[in-house]
A and B are shown apart, each in its own frame.
Chain A
Amino acid sequence: MTAATDDAAGTGLSTPRHSAADARSDSAAFAEEFRRAHRRGLRRAAWLRALLNVTGILLFLAVWEAVPRLGTWVNPVLLPPPSVVFDTFVPMLLSGEIPANILASLRRAALGFGIATATGVTAGLLTARIGLLHHVSEPILHGFRSVPSIALVPLSVLWFGIGEGSKVALVAWGSFFPIWITTFIGVRDVPAAYLRSAACLGAGRLATLLLVVLPAALPMILAGLRQGIAVSLILLVAAELSGAREGVAYMMSTGHQMFRVDIMLIGLVLLGTFGFIADRLFVALIRRLFPWYTTAS
């Protein structure tokens, strides 16, 4: 009896309070469930995208495999199917021939690109900040910029020989220009409000340059560097094709001389992979280093 009345009184009294608390915990539970479902949905979409990407690659390989095998109109010597290319690739990889060539190419590209970054950013900063320097250097820099870099390959070989010097110089020369021009534009167009804020807060020339101008111009500089990466790959190939003793493009040109299309195709895939990975690494690095950049504008 007592228990029953207690119970009845209890439920009668606590029902409103209880249901309010329930609603609160319900809504918390609902929010948690909603969040989980949302995350599940995002994950599923990401998986699906990856799956479709892989499917695309597999489809491409399947068509490539099928065409030289089935078609009588394609000479399999001129277009070997991927299985043949792969059979060539594995021993070349294990023998260390391919890694050595990759290393040689990467070293040249990195060195040339590094030189171009240092000189290009410096030149861009100086020409944008010092009016006199800008007007003096303008015709020369723009004149040289208009010459397609590849036209300098023979001259570079004459000047620097067929050793490492000519390759590095070509890569540096070619990627210098996009880096210089974008740095110049980025620095020239730093919003006046930034410069004025810095001046009002007592910043001197050097502090303004390092703490305000450079970071404000960074998005443009990074765009130039990204373009520089692409250009340096082009010039790397041009330089190696014009005469080298190692390197991925050199490997391709020996493949050409020996009429080994499979080796040439290996070179192409490697170069494509370089470009792709370099670009992705660059973007990932920017996201890590400059959290304000990707979402700022």
Chain B
Amino acid sequence: MSGPLIDFDRVSQIYAARDGSPVWALSDVSLRVEAGEFVCLIGPSGCGKSTLIHLLAGFLKPTSGAVRFRGRPLDGPGPDRGVVFQEYALFAWMTARQNVEFGLRMQRVSAPVRRRRALEALDRVGLRHAADRYPHELSGGMRQRVAVARALVVEPEVVLMDEPFAAVDAMTRTTLQEDLLRLWRETGVSVLFVTHNIDEAVFLAQRVVVMGAGPGVIREDLTVDLPYPRDRGSAEFGREYARIAAALARGSRGADQSDGERRAA
């Protein structure tokens, strides 16, 4: 395939604040992601990182600029782009297996095939034994595993993840991160992963896109050139961590300064 898988081309997104004044969620943002890449978006709240995900998922249309997927402009959500939400997105009235089967059902896959593929997908996230449980019978970490299985079973080309592990405890999060990396390597899917956690970004991503707020812009696009699996205790890991932390600090200092200038003016 020629050209990038994902292409944000000078995208701006404006919405109305409660008092009707315009808020720039994104201002003139350009970003390209190649097939198979693992990219983390990191930045303070209000930097538009979730907006980028929502644009690519097809939930929003850009105010100006273009979002292209495989070279074509987007037209609404579709199964070629899987989404894993922060939480509360599993259908409460379906068992884990039925949740995973949902996308296959929409593709009119026959029931026995659907069942087999759903069980395989659950197996890959280590939850075959919980196939017949309802979401409320699962822990937070297990729910997110089911959500990942549900997104991957329809074989999308990219998985969009909006702080998917933010609501689980630290130990579970580490395991979920390792599982996600394994699935990424097994399937070759692209991942666009929103986080506010530097450690998570350094552990997961090949590229870390550092964003800044007010208006939302991309400040730096850093490559994390470490082999997988990454060792959190290693010196290289610490250096990459410091590099991204510094980029984030530069970004927020810049924002503070412009804030100060605006106040002074």
Interface residues of A (CB under 8 A from B): 191, 193-194, 196-204, 207, 211-212, 215-216, 218, 290-293, 295-296
Contact = CB atoms under 8 A, between A and B. Distances in A.
A25 B223 CA distance: 58
B134 A291 contact: yes
A292 B89 contact: no
B102 A200 contact: no
A199 B106 contact: no
A212 B59 CA distance: 17
Contact of B93 (A200, A201, A290): A290
A100 to B, nearest CB: 42
B93 A215 contact: yes
A156 to B, nearest CB: 38
A197 B134 contact: no
Contact of B83 (A191, A196, A211, A212): A196
A291 B81 CA distance: 32
A292 B77 contact: no
A221 B92 CA distance: 16
B107 interface: yes
Contacts of A207: 106
Contacts of A193: 85, 88-89
Nearest to B93: A215
21 contacts: A193-B88, A193-B89, A196-B59, A197-B83, A197-B150, A199-B58, A200-B77, A200-B78, A200-B81, A201-B102, A201-B103, A201-B150, A202-B107, A202-B154, A212-B91, A216-B91, A216-B93, A290-B93, A293-B93, A296-B92, A296-B134
Interface string B98-137: 0000110011000000000000000000000000001110
B88 A191 contact: yes
Interface in B54-109: 57-59, 76-79, 81-83, 85, 88-93, 102-103, 106-107
Nearest to A203: B106
A43 B193 CA distance: 52
Given A193-B89, A194-B89, A194-B91, A200 B106 contact: no
A218 B91 CA distance: 12
User: Which of A199, A215, A290, A293 gathers the greatest number of chain B CB atoms within 10 Å?
Assistant: A199
Contacts of A296: 92, 134-136
- The 7 A-B residue pairs with the shortest CB-CB distance, nearest first, are A201-B103, A199-B77, A202-B79, A193-B89, A202-B106, A215-B93, A292-B134
B88 A292 contact: no
Interface residues of B, number: 27
Given A202-B107, A202-B154, 8 more contacts: A199-B76, A200-B81, A200-B82, A200-B151, A201-B102, A215-B91, A216-B92, A292-B92
Nearest to B100: A201
A197 B76 contact: no
A216 B92 CA distance: 8
Nearest to A192: B59
B154 A197 contact: no
Contact of B91 (A197, A199, A202): A197
A194 B90 CA distance: 7
A212 B98 CA distance: 12
A197 B89 contact: yes
Nearest to B82: A200
User: Which of A215, A291, A292 gathers the greatest number of chain B CB atoms within 10 Å?
Assistant: A292
Contacts of A212: 91
Contacts of B89: 193-194, 196-197
A191 B89 CA distance: 8
Nearest to A199: B77
A211 B154 CA distance: 18
Interface string B179-220: 000000000000000000000000000000000000000000
A293 B136 CA distance: 10
Contacts of B83: 196-197, 200
A216 B89 CA distance: 11
Contacts of A198: 102
B106 A292 contact: no
A229 to B, nearest CB: 23
Nearest to A208: B106
Interface string B147-187: 00011001000000000000000000000000000000000
Contacts of A211: 102
A211 B90 CA distance: 13
Given A200-B57, A200-B83, A207-B106, A295 B77 contact: no
A218 B92 CA distance: 11
A200 B103 CA distance: 8
Contacts of B150: 197, 201
A197 B93 contact: no
A292 B132 CA distance: 12
